[in-house]
Amino acid sequence: MPGFAEDTAYFVNGKLPRLALIAKDVRFPPGNWLRVADGLLPRWQAEVLVREFFPALEKKPIPFIALLNELDVQQFEEDLKDRKEGMVG
């Protein structure tokens, strides 16, 4: 059963890779999501933190998504299937 964000914050999935702003009480998409910053932080600062945690992403663009409600999560999951990136469990 998927978890839900306790607070609005930035999370990263290093296998996709993807940086996501996930709103409080919104379901996490499948995969391992690591909280990296508070949701009040500007996006660029969250990206800096991600690059520090994941050196392999240092020189690559980090795709960003805002998941603010269940519909956003469902659309994100569909987009992953369409891109054949697969769901990362």
pLDDT given at position 57: 86
pLDDT at residue number 84: 66
Distances (CA, A) of 82 to 16, 23, 72: 14, 24, 15
**Residue 74 to residue 27: CA distance in whole angstroms:** 10
User: What is the token pair recorded at 66?
Assistant: 């805002």
pLDDT tens for each residue of the chain, 89 residues long: 469 999 999 999 988 889 999 999 999 999 999 999 999 999 999 999 999 988 888 888 899 999 999 999 999 999 988 876 555 54
The domains of the chain are located at 9-83
